[in-house]
Amino acid sequence: MKIRKILSLFLMLCLLAGCGAQPTAQETTHADDAVVIALDVNSEPAAGFDPAYGWGAGEHVHEPLIQSTLTVTNPNLTIGYDLATGYTVSDDGLTWTVTIRDDVKFTDGEPLTASDVAFTYNTVKQQSTVSDFTMLDSAEAIDDTTVQFHMNQAFSIWPYTMAVVGILPEHAYDSATYGANPIGSGRYMLKQWDRGQQVILEANPDYYGEAPKMKTVTILFMEEDAAFLAAQAGQVDVSYTSATYADQTVSGYTLEAYQTVDNRGLNLPATPRTTDAQGCTVGNDLTADVRVRRAINLGIDRQEMIDNVLAGHGTPAYSVCDQMPWYSDASEVSYDPEAAMQLLDEAGWTMGADGVREKDGVKAEMTVLYASDDSVRQALAADFANQMAELGISVQIEGVGWDTAYDRALSEPLVWGWGAHTPMELYNIYHTREGSDTALYSPYSNPTVDKYMDEALASDDLETAYALWQKAQWDGTTGVTQDGDIPWVWLVNVDHLYWVRDGLQIAEQKIHPHGHGWSLVNNVDAWTWSK
C-alpha cells in the first residue's frame, strides 16, 4: 500500500512537471489568467458534473460553476440572483413563480428558457439520491421566461435550494453521458477530465455575466501529503492542507485560513437506554439527564481544543449554524468547569473514590465514537475525554466505520461533522421524524421546537423564517440551547487551510460549509494575480 501511494505521488508530480527537474516555487511561472489548485481526492465528483446526481449539492454544497443557477448566496448568506430576475410565492407557500433572464445561451448556442429550468427540477426530483426534493411536486414552464414550482408543502427556504441546482439543457441531456460531457451556461466549460487526476475548466466566452478573470482553472485531486509536496515543488498555485501541516513553511506561499461553519460536535442521546422494535439499542442513561448534558456543555474548553488539536486554526462552535443569518446567540456559553461540577452535584451525581461519579447505581461513564479514518475527530474525542475526566465523567473513545456509526449513535455520542448554507441543517438534526417519536440521528424530540421549525418552513418570507429558526433554538423558555434541552454539544468550527502562492489574490470568501473543497473556488472567476 505504501509503495502504491509513493508511485501515485511520483506519477502525479510527473504529470505536473513533465517528469523533468522539479522547479522551486520561485522558479515556477504562471499565466496571468490561469490557476492550478490541489483539492482533496474526495472532491472529485464520482458521478461527474451532473446536477441531477449531486454536482453542486449534497453534503459539500458549492456553486456548480459549469451550470447557471436561479439564485446565489451572497457573502452574508442572504439570497441574490443569477438566472432569476425575481420571484414571488403564493400566500399558502405552495406556488413559487420565478422569472428568468432572456439573454442566456448554453455553450452549444441554444437559448436557455424556462422549459430547461422546469426540465432540470423535474429531472433532479426524479433522479437525485443526494438532495431531498420531497417538498417539490413539479416544475412548470409558463412561458419562455417564467417557471412555476408547485410544492407538496410550504418551504420558505426554497431560494437556498435554487442556489445550488445547476440548470440542464433539455435538448441535450442524456443521463448516461452528461456527467462527463456537460453542456451548461455558467462561467466555465469543462475542457478536460482525467478521472482520478484532474479537471480543467475554461472560461465560457459567451457567459452573460462579467467575464471571468481566470480563463483556465485546473483542479488536481490529491492526497494531503502529495498536495503538500506539490506546493513545496511550486507545481500548484493553491493547495489544501490541514492543521497537521500548519507549523510548516513553504517558500513562496502563505498559509491562508478561511472561516467556516464546518463544525464538529457530539450528539448526547436524550432518552434513557432501551431497545426499540428492531432490536437496536437506543438512548443513554447518563446523557438522558439534562443536567448532565448542560454540565458537559459548560465543561468543554473549546479554545483549548482549537489550540491543541487544530493548531489555533478554528473557532469555538456553539450550534450547527454559527454566524448564519438564522443563528441564535443564546447558543453561546462560556467555559465554566466549576458551574459544571455544581450542576452534577445538584443532580445527585456524586464523586466516587475512583474519580468517577455515580448516581442510583449508574456510573458516569460513556463511550464516544469517531470515524476511524479521521485523525482530527480522534484527537477531538481524546481531548474531550480528558476534559470530562476533570468533571468526574469517564469517557472511552472508539474508532468506528460509517457502516455502524449511525446505528451506534442512537445510544452513544459520536463526533459528527455538520454545517451548511441552509437552515435545513437545524431541521434535519433536531426535528422529530414523521411517523416516529424521535429525531433522525439521535433520540430527542420537543414538540415546541418542531412547531417553530414547521412555522419557519411555512413562512411567506425569509426574514420571518429566520426569527422562527432562532426561536427553535431558544424562545426564552425552551429550545435546544444550554438553558433548554441541549441534545447536542458543539466543539469547534474547523478553519479551511490552503497554501496560496504569493501574488495570487483570492476573492473574498463566504463562510465555508462542511467539506474542504469546491467551496473555495465558488468565485475563482474573480481571482487575480498581482503584477
Tens digit of each residue's pLDDT (9 = 90 or more) over 489-530: 999 999 999 999 999 999 999 999 998 789 999 999 999 999
Q: CA–CA separation, 455 vs 225, rounded Å? A: 47
| pLDDT score of 62 | 87
| pLDDT score of 515 | 83
| pLDDT score of 28 | 54
Nearest Cα to 112, choosing from 208, 181, 22, 38? 208
Q: Which residue has the cell 439543457?
A: 169
Q: Is the pLDDT of residue 395 over 80?
A: yes
DSSP three-state, residue 360: coil
Q: What is the mean pLDDT of residues 188-195?
A: 98
Q: Is the pLDDT of residue 531 over 80?
A: no
| Mean model confidence pLDDT for the chain | 93
C-alpha cell at 216: 483556465
Q: What is the mean pLDDT of residues 247-256?
A: 96
Contacting residues for 284 by C-beta, under 8 A, at least 6 apart: 268, 269, 271, 272, 273, 366, 411, 412, 413
C-alpha cell at 184: 451548461
Q: Is the pLDDT of residue 199 over 60?
A: yes
Cβ–Cβ < 8 Å for 31, 237: no
How many CA atoms, within 13 angstroms, populate the side-chain half-sphere of residue 259? Answer: 13
| pLDDT score of 273 | 95
Q: Which CATH number fits domain 47-176: 3.30.43.10, 3.40.190.10, 3.40.50.300, 3.40.50.11540?
A: 3.40.190.10
**Do 47-176 and 263-493 share a fold?**
no
Q: Is the pLDDT of residue 403 over 50?
A: yes
End-to-end CA, the chain: 44
Q: Is the pLDDT of residue 48 over 70?
A: yes
Residues found in the chain: 531
Nearest Cα to 289, choosing from 347, 345, 351, 362? 347
Asked if CATH classification 3.40.190.10 holds for the domain at 29-44+195-260+495-531, the reply, yes or no, is yes
Please spell the DSSP secondary structure of 33-74, one letter per residue. TEEEEEEEGGGS-TT-S-GGGTTT-SSS----SSS--SEEE-
With cut-offs at 50, 70 and 90, classify the pLDDT of residue 64.
very high
| pLDDT score of 461 | 85
Q: Is the pLDDT of residue 259 over 80?
A: yes
Which comes out higher in pLDDT, residue 462 or 295?
A: 295
Q: Is the pLDDT of residue 190 over 70?
A: yes
Nearest Cα to 528, choosing from 509, 504, 510, 508? 504
Q: Count other Cβ atoms within 10 Å, centred on residue 94.
A: 17
Cβ–Cβ < 8 Å for 290, 349: no
Q: Is the pLDDT of residue 14 over 60?
A: no
With cut-offs at 50, 70 and 90, classify the pLDDT of residue 5.
very low
**Weakest-pLDDT range from 21-30, 470-479, 506-515:** 21-30
Write out pLDDT tens, residues 306-316.
Answer: 999 999 999 99
Q: CA–CA separation, 155 vs 247, rounded Å? A: 45
| pLDDT score of 22 | 41
With cut-offs at 50, 70 and 90, classify the pLDDT of residue 132.
confident
Sequence spans of domains, the chain: 29-44+195-260+495-531, 47-176, 263-493
Q: Is the pLDDT of residue 232 over 60?
A: yes
Nearest Cα to 462, choosing from 64, 93, 60? 93
3-state DSSP: the chain helix, strand, coil percent, rounded to 5? 30, 25, 45
| pLDDT score of 60 | 60
With cut-offs at 50, 70 and 90, classify the pLDDT of residue 18.
very low
Q: Count other Cβ atoms within 10 Å, centred on residue 281.
A: 15
Q: Distances in Å between the alpha carbon of 91 and those of 96, 99, 457?
A: 10, 18, 13
Write out pLDDT tens, residues 73-100.
Answer: 998 889 999 999 999 999 999 999 999 9
Q: Kindly report the pTM of this predicted structure.
A: 0.90
Q: Is the pLDDT of residue 8 over 70?
A: no
Q: Which CATH architecture has domain 263-493?
A: Roll (3.10)
Q: Count other Cβ atoms within 10 Å, centred on residue 348.
A: 12
**Weakest-pLDDT range from 55-69, 191-205, 327-341, 356-370:** 55-69
**Weakest-pLDDT range from 126-140, 159-173, 280-294, 452-466:** 126-140
Q: CA–CA separation, 51 vs 35, rounded Å? A: 24
The H or E element that residue 454 is part of is helix 447-458
Helices 337-346 & 290-298 angle (0-180, nearest 10) = 170
| pLDDT score of 516 | 78
